């Protein structure tokens, strides 16, 4: 594989024009950020790996240039004048979604150790969507403890471009909004109805699971 940088690309690697807004100008031109994003997409690299890959190319070419750092590439990717989207990575057969609590350590934790248990503790919830076959984390969100699991599901699934065949969740996601979301995504919902679940409108697929629950066929 051969990489070729022409003289114009080398001479214009650093940005020489101000963006026209407040603050100092950009160090790297838009074209250089697009170049980095192109290499990232072609080789499926992370932002940090993209920085190292470009720097290794410059070293092999004996060029005194430097790649934009990974945080710069990530931030500038939102403002470059091209539409950049991560390539799809194929169909997800089974997506498992759940949430867990995270205890926030700080002043309150010190007081607890010194004076004993307090009534008010600070928590956050970590929501994860995991490919059950590869164990890859597909999406992750952090929310306040008073946010319902079902409220975060659209935030996690809407940005996904990959086709999902089935989504496995617990009864906390047994809402009409979650069922409608999975129907729009073309995914089969594997959602156990709540213990006191009632029937929805006639013909809704969820009613079969409610019937099985009431007949003792579903636990």
Considering the domain boundaries, does residue 87 fall inside one? no
Q: What is the pTM of this model?
A: 0.56
Q: Are residues 72 and 97 in the same domain?
A: no
Q: What is the bridge-based pairing of β-strands 123-131 and 188-190?
A: unpaired
d(CA 54, CA 39): 8
pLDDT tens string 165-217:
999 999 889 989 999 999 999 999 988 887 778 888 888 888 888 888 777 76
Mean of the per-residue pLDDT values of the chain: 82
120 and 62 belong to one structural domain: no
Could you tell me which of 79, 78, 57 has the C-alpha nearest to residue 67? 57
Is position 82 within any domain? no
What percent of the chain clears pLDDT 90, i.e. is strictly above it? 27
| Cβ-based neighbour number of residue 31 at 10 Å | 16
**Choice between 142 and 114, residue whose per-residue pLDDT is larger:** 142
Lowest mean pLDDT segment, chosen from 75-79, 118-122, 157-161, 197-201: 118-122
- Residue 178 is assigned to a structural domain of this protein: yes
Neighbours of 164 (CB within 10 A): 20
Q: Which of 21-30, 39-48, 90-99, 148-157 has the lowest mean pLDDT?
A: 21-30
Question: 16 with 67, same domain?
Answer: yes
What's the structural domain count of the chain? 2
More confidently predicted of 81 and 150: 150
User: Between helices 30-43 and 47-61, what is the axis angle to 10°?
Assistant: 110
Q: Are residues 182 and 104 in the same domain?
A: yes
What CATH code is carried by the domain that includes residue 121? 3.30.420
SS3 call for 64:
coil
Domain termination site, one of 44, 76, 108:
76
Question: What is the average pLDDT across 116-137?
Answer: 82
Q: How far, in Å, CA of 130 to CA of 178, rounded?
A: 17
Is the domain of 30 the same as that of 129?
A: no
pLDDT band at 44 (very low <50, low <70, confident <90, very high): confident
- Same domain? For 21 and 117 the reply is no
pLDDT value of residue 178: 92
Per the domain annotation, does 85 fall within a domain? no
Residue 169: the pLDDT is 92
Residue 118 sits in the same domain as residue 177: yes
Instruction: Compute and round to an integer the Cα radius of gyration of the chain.
Output: 25
98 in the same domain as 59: no
- Residue 120's pLDDT is 61
**1 in a domain, yes or no?**
no
Same domain, 106 and 169: yes
- Position of tokens 């979604």? 97
Interatomic CA distance for residues 36 and 58, integer angstroms: 13
Q: Same domain, yes or no, for 72 and 96?
A: no
Is 219 part of a structural domain of the chain? no
Q: Residue 126 falls within a domain, yes or no?
A: yes
Provide the H-helix boundaries in the chain.
Answer: 7-11, 30-43, 47-61, 70-76, 107-115, 149-157, 176-184, 206-214
> Residue 214 has what pLDDT?
76
User: Measured between alpha carbons, how far is 119 from 56 in angstroms, rounded to an integer?
Assistant: 55
Structural domain for 37, as ranges:
7-76
* pLDDT tier, 21 (very low <50, low <70, confident <90, very high otherwise): low
In terms of domains, do 62 and 164 share one?
no
Residues 68-82 as b or e (16 or more Cβ within 10 Å = b):
bebebbbebbeebee
Provide the pLDDT for residue 216: 72
Q: Is the pLDDT higher at 106 or at 6?
A: 6
Pick from 63-72, 117-126, 136-145: least confident: 117-126
| 181: number of Cβ within 10 Å | 19
Q: Are residues 104 and 175 in the same domain?
A: yes
| Domain assignment of residue 81, yes or no | no
């Amino acid at each position: 594989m051969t990489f070729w940088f022409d003289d114009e690309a080398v001479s214009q690697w650093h940005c020489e024009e101000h963006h026209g807004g407040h603050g100092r100008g950009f160090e790297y031109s838009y074209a250089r950020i697009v170049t980095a994003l192109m290499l990232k997409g072609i080789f499926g690299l992370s932002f940090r790996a993209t920085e190292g890959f470009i720097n290794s190319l410059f070293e092999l070419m004996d060029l005194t240039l430097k790649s934009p750092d990974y945080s710069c590439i990530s931030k500038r990717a939102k403002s470059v004048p091209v539409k950049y989207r991560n390539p799809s990575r194929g169909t997800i057969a089974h997506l498992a979604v759940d949430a867990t609590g995270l205890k926030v350590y700080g002043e309150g934790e010190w007081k607890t150790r010194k004076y004993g248990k307090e009534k008010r503790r600070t928590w956050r919830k970590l929501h994860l969507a995991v490919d059950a076959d590869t164990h890859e984390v597909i999406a992750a969100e952090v929310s306040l403890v008073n946010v319902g699991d079902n409220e975060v599901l659209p935030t996690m699934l809407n940005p996904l471009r990959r086709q999902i065949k089935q989504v496995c969740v617990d009864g906390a996601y047994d809402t009409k909004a979650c069922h409608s979301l999975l129907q729009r995504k073309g995914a089969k919902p594997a959602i156990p109805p709540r213990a006191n679940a009632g029937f929805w409108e006639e013909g809704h697929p969820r009613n079969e699971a409610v019937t099985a629950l009431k007949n003792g066929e579903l636990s």
